[in-house]
């Protein structure tokens, strides 16, 4: 069908890089930059120009020979691919340290996601507000989701609570879980899950430091020989 919107499929590797393009292009727009060459964008993002061209070609290029990329257009297209304009809505489940920090950050707003509320089981937290967002009892989640559109649940509960909270999430129309708990989720396949594990990233960093040290040591030993 001619009018049917063409669905864009991108590889997992490109999908992972898109949020980074989104961040850099948003900053360029804020700085009033209207166009940018693949070379300039590559230097800014510390990748190769051919990587940029390859990535952006996946969904039609958007660049013009001799002109470079129109920043606003490219930002618009990447926002569209990432669903930023969909105005997805989120709730945080677990109003503890991490729940507080996420509610207070610009993480949601900066990416077009509307944070609506937090849910918890602690009577000390229920009924209060955190960074202007109401905290409700987890028992109200089901009813809340029937009355309000909720697309994303942000999971910041202790590991021991994950199984029971997952069951509650699965019983709603929530479409995706941003999982900060360090437990693998068991959810129906209709739900998308994105796991975040900062500790793993720290270990990757330690690994890189250790590898660099070993390389330096063996290079040093080589010179001494
Ligand atoms: P926290 O103890 O400060 O907060 C947990 C909150 O969850 C509390 O407010 C508690 O009342 C609430 N809660 C407990 N059971 C609940 C339930 N069944 N339903 C709803 N709320 C419930 O803990 P935190 O430091 O905010 O950490 C939260 C989670 O995030 C933990 O699982 C922790 O391991 C994890 N964490 C992950 C990362 C990461 O990189 N992914 C980093 C830090 C913490």
Span 69-88, pLDDT tens digits: 889 988 998 998 898 989 99
CA 118–ligand 1 middle distance (angstroms): 12
CA 157–ligand 1 middle distance (angstroms): 3
CA gap 53, 49 in Å, rounded? 6
Q: What is the pTM of this model?
A: 0.88
CA gap 77, 84 in Å, rounded? 10
Q: What is the pLDDT of residue 8?
A: 65
Residues facing residue 193 across a β-bridge: 177
| 97-117 confidence digits (pLDDT tens) | 999 999 999 999 999 999 999
Q: Are strands 35-36 and 68-70 parallel, antiparallel or unpaired?
A: antiparallel
Tokens of 43: 């230097």
CA gap 139, 172 in Å, rounded? 12
Torsion sign over Cα 54, 202, 25, 19: positive
| Count of other CB atoms within 10 angstroms of residue 49 | 14
| Count of other CB atoms within 10 angstroms of residue 6 | 7
What are the pocket residues of ligand 1 if the criterion is a CB atom closer than 6 Å to any ligand atom? 93-99, 119-122, 125, 138, 156-159, 161, 164-165, 180-182, 196-199
CA gap 100, 105 in Å, rounded? 9
């Amino acid at each position: 069908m001619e009018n049917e919107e063409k669905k864009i499929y991108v590889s997992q590797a490109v999908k992972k890089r898109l949020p980074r393009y989104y961040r850099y292009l948003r900053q360029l727009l804020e700085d009033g930059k209207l166009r940018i060459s693949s070379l300039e964008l590559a230097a800014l993002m510390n990748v190769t120009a051919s990587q940029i061209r390859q990535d952006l070609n996946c969904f039609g290029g958007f660049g013009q020979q001799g002109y470079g990329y129109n920043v606003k257009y490219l930002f618009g297209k990447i926002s569209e691919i990432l669903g930023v304009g969909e105005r997805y809505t989120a709730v945080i489940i677990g109003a503890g340290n991490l729940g507080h920090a996420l509610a207070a950050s610009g993480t949601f707003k900066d990416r077009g996601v509307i944070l609506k509320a937090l849910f918890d089981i602690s009577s000390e937290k229920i009924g209060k507000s955190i960074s202007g967002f109401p905290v409700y009892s987890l028992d109200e989640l089901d009813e809340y989701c029937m009355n309000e559109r909720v697309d994303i649940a942000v999971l910041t509960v202790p590991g021991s609570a994950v199984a029971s909270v997952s069951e509650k999430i699965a019983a709603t129309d929530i479409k995706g879980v941003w999982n900060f708990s360090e437990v693998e989720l068991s959810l129906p396949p209709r739900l998308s899950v994105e796991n975040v594990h900062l500790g793993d990233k720290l270990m990757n960093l330690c690994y890189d430091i250790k590898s660099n040290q070993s390389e330096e040591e063996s290079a040093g030993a080589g010179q001494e020989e």
